[in-house]
Amino acid sequence: MFHAQRGGNLRPLGRRGCQFLDFGGITIGDRVLIGPGVTLSTAGHPVEVDERFGFITYAPIVIGDDVWIGAAATITPGVTIGHGSVVGAGAVVAKDVPPLSVVTATSIVERKRLRPPSPS
């Protein structure tokens, strides 16, 4: 059973090789761009050697409105990506991303803060 909710205007770019492992639930906001090869994984294992094989842990992923996730990025269990943010290609996101942020690389470092959109 697929436990994902998505907003309107989801844009899977290229639509190739994406994996959504949704055991913990995935929520995707409106106007989200998802590049090819993106992995959203809500399942993991404890890191302690004695616990790794005993059970699997689950935590939801929440992706806010107007987010762009670049090609081959991986979002790990329990992460929330704030509205308007950009996740660079190949990034591994293991902690929450604040709204209107740009994050890149394998160790997530907030590179800059974006301005909120102008009122219409």
**Active-site positions?**
45
Task: Please check whether residue 81 is in contact with residue 99, taking contact to mean a CB–CB distance below 8 angstroms.
Answer: no
**Start-to-end Cα distance in the chain:** 39
Tens place of pLDDT per residue across the chain (120 aa): 345 566 655 555 555 789 999 899 999 999 999 999 999 999 998 878 778 787 899 999 999 999 999 999 999 999 999 999 999 999 999 999 999 999 997 666 677 788 887 787
In DSSP terms, which residues pair with 4 in a beta bridge?
Answer: 26
| CATH code for the domain defined by 38-109 | 2.160.10.10
Segments making up each domain of the chain, as ranges:
38-109
Residue 41 CA to its chain's centroid (Å): 8
